[in-house]
Structures are given as structure tokens and as C-alpha cells.
Chains A and B, each alone.
Chain A
Amino acid sequence: MQTDSLLDLQAPVMAYGMRVGSEPQAPVSEEEALAEGLVVRKLNAWYGSFQALREVSLLVAPERITAIIGPSGCGKSTLIRCFNRMHEVAPRARVTGQVLLRGKDIYAPATDPVLVRRRVGMVFQKPNPFPTMSIFDNVAAGLRLNGFLVRRSELADAVERSLRQAALWDEVKDKPNRPATELSGGQQQRLCIARALAVEPEVVLMDEPCSALDPVATLKIEDLMRELARNYTIVIVTHNMQQAARVSDYTAVMMMADDRAGEMIEFGPTREVFTNPRDKKTEDYITGRFG
């Protein structure tokens, strides 16, 4: 079902060529997601008596970028906060359903949320480095404060490694002890990414990571994401459809139902979702008729 308006979106998909758009993407295989990625089964989430998510199911492919898009308020952030058990930190928050990380349910009764959060990292919308710590200390925070007994030399290596992965090393290698607050917004966000990477998670969640940044910084982070996807499973929430089209391998579309609960409408390879959506609601959203 191709219309003229959808052609507009093919342009960015085509222009940024590279992985997205040049190779046909197959749908996510459930075996693969179970073995190495994330499987979400019938997830419901509440804040008190308000239901924020209803029966959400999703497959997240390993070592790929999955974007979650949808109009504001549809529960995108709530969804990914369920992936690292941050949702339950909110008062009177509740979750039912399953989220399987490499096949094991993170909401199984005897599971420690702290351990989950070390395996599933998160980068927030507004960069939030620890203001009382230096750049070095920020990146090392996860390692130090988790009680990992790391020798000084190992710590320095890990910090350098993370900063290189976050494409920030060259800019800060001469001043690792400066306060983190001296960095620009884009640099601070990359610092937060480095900090998240330092504990070597399996999945990295990004909640609208570029919405507080200028376009140049945004592009840098998008490039960074594609690099990281070589080794990490990335899930990004974005309200910017063009960004989703540019950057992601798979896209999941969410919508708000009449009672304001969030529902998963469809998900699949980005190219398919944008050029050949199965659900009319997706088409409406993407062409701007709604949301």
C-alpha cells in the first residue's frame, strides 16, 4: 500500500543508505530474540489505578537497533522503563507479563532488579552526569559503586574503552579530571552513554536521547548508535520519525487507546513499517494524519 506521501519517507531511508534500506531486513525471528535479545510477552503496566500499557508484545533483535515510535503519551517511555525494571521505582507502579532477557524473565519472583539494571543500561532524555564527579569518575561510577573489585589499572582501561566506544575519548583524554559539567550538552550525553557502557550491559535503552540536543550533536549520536549496534542490542524511543527511519533496523509503533492505555500496533523491519505498514493506524501516524 504505497501512496505518494510515503515516498517522502523513503527518501531519508534511501539517502542514509548504508545498512538501512540497502539490505532487505527479514522480520525478527523469535528464536533469535529468545536466545540473544529481548522478548516481551503480554506486558501490562500501571501507575496506581491508571493503566499505561496493555498487552504489549514485542521481539527485540539482538545487536540491532529497534526504534519505538508513537505519539506523545502513548507509553513508549513506560515500555522501555519496564525493560530495566525502572518502572517499578515510581510510586504505586505495577507490572504483569513477561520480559525475557536471553530467555530468562526479568520479572521472575526471585529476581533482583539491581542485577537486571546492570545488564540493561539506560540513557536518558536529558543528559544527567553526576555533577559532583569528574569525567573519569562519572564513567567509572558504575564500576566503582557496584562494588566490583577493580584494580586501578583495570579501571583506567575500562574508562578509556568506554569513552572510545562513546566517541568521546579524543575530546576528553587530556582532561579526565575536569568536572563533567564543563562539557557541552552533546558531550555530556556521550558521557552518559560511556557511563552506561562501562558496566558492559547487553542491552542499551535510550529514551529520546537526542531531543535535548542540537542537530549537529544529534547526528553524532546517531552515528554512534550505529557503531554501538555492532556489539550491543539497542532500543531507542523517539518521537522523531525521520530519526527512526534513519537509524533503526526495526521499528515498533505504539498508540494510545481511548482509555489512554498504550498498545503495540505493529513492529517489524523499519523499511517495511514505513513503506508497507500493515495497520492503518500506523499509516495514519506516519503520514501525519494523526499524532
Chain B
Amino acid sequence: MHVGRGGSTTAAALARRRPWRIGNLGDALSRTVFAGLGLSLLALALLMAYELVLESRHSIRAFGWGFLTGTRWDPVDQVFGAAPAIYGTLVSSVIALMLAVPVSLGAAIFLSEMAPPWLRSPLSFLIEMLAALPSVVLGLWGLYVLVPWVRDFVEKSSLGHLSFIPLFDGPPFGFGMLAAGLILAIMVLPIITAIARDVMQAVPTSQREAMLALGATRWEVILGAVLPYCRSGLMAAVILGLGRALGETMAVTMVIGKGYNITASLFQPASTAASTLASEFNEATYNLYISALVELALILMGITLLLNILARLLVWRVARSPEVIAE
């Protein structure tokens, strides 16, 4: 049995036969390949921004900043203004957040602080399944279940009594901002819940115990110890949810109707930037039309980018706040 060095075919001998050499081809090659794949992320983002700007140049040249404030969208007269679409995007998302955030936080608190372990996993799983539902299926459900419900239970009943409030003034079709807000709330709910639950679970037990030792009730523990500790994470969750709401297309398009105006009414048909794109892109027949639509897409991407930067700044700023550093 051969033990130790020696022999002409052993590994050491093979290694010694090769002289000291410079560098390593395989490593250099693989580094380049992986770097290329990694940089593809950057390249993609830059290319996307560039291409969108390029294709919207006709519209930018034709309308300038007026595109953002113009309220008319008329393919026949070749006049395009994005204000109602932007308004619709923002308002529907805000409604969605107003409806979803309390429910999400409540569900997250339940999952993180109250639920017994055997319930936690399956419940979390179910709520995450809600996020996995394709948006077009939610749109279908929205179209045939939610819209009639909104029409029959909400709009018809408030029509008589509350229509003097501009918020509730509008034809009882069911389609409109309210339905869009509702369906967006459903889509945004699981995202905020999942992230909020994660950050809440990450709060150290010592924090809760400190609060309990002061004689706090269970809710006071959550309010006083848990929520403040994961403030930045909760904000990030809401911002992520907002991002999803802003860009959501199919479900919104199917329930928002096709009204293009700025109105305070929840019941009027409306539009978002995404729904306008979805409804009209395939029918755009001439360059200016297409360019205006691409400019809408560019605006959407810009809002997304701003939101991400805002989220990063917020998290960065809160992470450096005195309370956190003092820990």
C-alpha cells in the first residue's frame, strides 16, 4: 500500500510536474461570465429607461410638461393629457392602502403575536396564496362578483341618501374608483401582511418582556414595544404594497370602467395609467398615439423608481435614528 509522497502518477506528482504558473484561466473566465450575468441587471434597467424615453419622444416634443397636467385624452383629435390617468393611479392606490393597511397590520399582529404555533404556518400560507393568485383571475372575480356587489349594496343604497356628497355622486354601475380600490386592497393585503409579520416576529423577546414587566396589557405591549421597534420595516411593507398597487393592471382594468376624467366621485368610471395602457395599446394606430402611451409607461416607471428611492431613504434614515443606535 502506497503511503505518502512518491510515485509518478500520484496527485502530488501531477501537481509538481506543472510549473508555478501565473493566474488561472478558469477563474478569470468564470469571473467575467458571472460579472456579465450580474451586470445584465444594470444593463436591463438602463436599457428599459432609455428605450421608454426614446419611444415617447414624439409625445414629449408635442406636449412637453403639459402632458402631466392635460386632462383630455382624445385619440381622434390627437390630444393627449395624462392627468386623469395619474390621478386615477394615485387615488385608487391610496384607497387600496386605506382599506388594506389596517387589515394587514391586524392580520400580521395576529399571526406574529397571538396565533398559536399550529395555526401560524397554515394561516400564513393561506394569506400568501392570496398573493399568488393571478391578477386576471382576480379581475374576473372582480368583474362578475365584486362590481355587482358594489353596485347593489353600496351604490344603490347610498344613492338616495348620500349623493349630495361628491364622494358618492355617480351612476350606480358598480364600475369605478371604489371597485378598483377594493380590488387593489385585496391584492396588496397579502404583501403587507407577509412583510409586517416577518418584521414583527424579528422583534427580540426581551423587548416584549420589558414592557410586560411594567404591567402592560397585551395590546400595550404590541403598541409600545413591538410596533415602534419595527417601524421602518412596517413602512417598507406599506411602500412595497403601494408599489404593487400603482403598477397593477389587469384586475384594475376590468373593474374601473373607462372614464377619463378627474372627479372626486368614487362611483364614476375612471382610469389609471396602467388601465389606459392595457385598454388602448393594441389599438393605437399612429405614432403620436403610441408615443403618448409609451410616455404613460415611462411615467409609471418613474413613479416606481421614486418610490424605491423613497423606501431606501426611509429605511436608511430610521435605521440611523437615535433609538436604534442606542441599542
* Interface size of A as a range: 20 to 34
A112-B22, A112-B23, A115-B18 known; A161+B11 contact, CB < 8 A = no
Cβ-based interface call for A200 (8 A): yes
Q: How far is the CA of A254 from the CA of B13 in the complex (A)?
A: 34
> Is residue A111 within 8 Å, beta carbon to beta carbon, of the partner chain?
yes
Interface residues of A in 96-114 (CB under 8 A from B): 104, 108, 110-112, 114
Among B2-10, B92-100, B230-238, which stretch is in contact with chain A?
B2-10
Asked whether A202 and B12 contact (CB < 8 A) given A104-B20, A161-B2, the answer is: yes
- Which residues of chain A have C-beta atoms less than 8 A from B42's C-beta? none
Q: A200-B10, A231-B3 are in contact. Are A118 and B15 (CB under 8 A)?
A: yes
Contacting A at CB under 8 A, from B9-59, are: 9-16, 18, 20-24
A230–B4 CA distance with the chains assembled, in angstroms: 9
Chain A 197-211 near chain B by CB (<8 Å), digits 1 or 0? 011111000000000
Residues of A within 8 A of B2 (CB): 161
A139 to B16, CA, bound (A): 20
The contact of B5 among A114, A154, A231, by CB within 8 Å, is: A231
Inter-subunit contact A161/B20 (CB<8 Å): no
CB contact between A115 and one of B1, B5, B11, B15 (< 8 Å): that residue: B15
> In the assembly, what is the distance between CA of A198 and CA of B11, in Å?
8
Measured CA separation A148–B18 after assembly (Å): 12
Q: How far is the CA of A230 from the CA of B1 in the complex (A)?
A: 15
Question: Min CB distance, A89 to chain B, in Å?
Answer: 13
Among residues of B, the one whose C-beta sits closest to the C-beta of A111 is: B20
Which B residues are CB-close (under 8 A) to A111?
20
Whole-angstrom distance between the alpha carbons of A201 and B22 in the complex? 20
**A165–B4 CA distance with the chains assembled, in angstroms:** 9
Assembled-state Cα–Cα distance A288/B2 (Å): 44
A143 within 8 A of B: yes
Contacts of A199 on B, CB cut-off 8 Å? 11-12, 15
Q: How far does the Cβ of A208 sit from chain B's closest Cβ, in whole Å?
A: 25
Q: Looking across the interface, which residue of chain B has its beta carbon closest to that of A113?
A: B24
Task: Determine if A38 is an interface residue (Cβ-Cβ < 8 Å).
Answer: no
Task: Tell whether A112 pairs with B21 under 8 Å between CB atoms, given A161-B3, A231-B4.
Answer: yes
Nearest-CB residue, chain A, relative to B13: A200
Binding site for B on A (CB under 8 A): 104, 108, 110-112, 114-115, 118-119, 142-143, 146, 148, 150, 154, 158, 161, 164-165, 198-202, 230-232
Additional A-B contact list (16), CB under 8 Å, known A198-B11, A200-B11: A110-B21, A111-B20, A112-B23, A114-B24, A115-B15, A115-B18, A146-B15, A148-B11, A161-B2, A200-B12, A200-B13, A202-B12, A230-B4, A231-B4, A231-B5, A232-B4
Spell out B's residues near A (CB within 8 Å).
Answer: 1-5, 9-16, 18, 20-24
26 contacts between A and B (CB under 8 A): A104-B20, A110-B20, A110-B21, A112-B20, A112-B22, A115-B15, A115-B18, A115-B20, A115-B21, A118-B11, A118-B15, A119-B12, A119-B15, A143-B11, A146-B11, A148-B11, A158-B11, A161-B1, A161-B2, A165-B3, A199-B11, A201-B12, A202-B12, A230-B4, A231-B3, A231-B4
Q: Which 6 A-B pairs have the closest CB atoms?
A: A231-B4, A200-B12, A200-B11, A199-B11, A118-B15, A110-B22
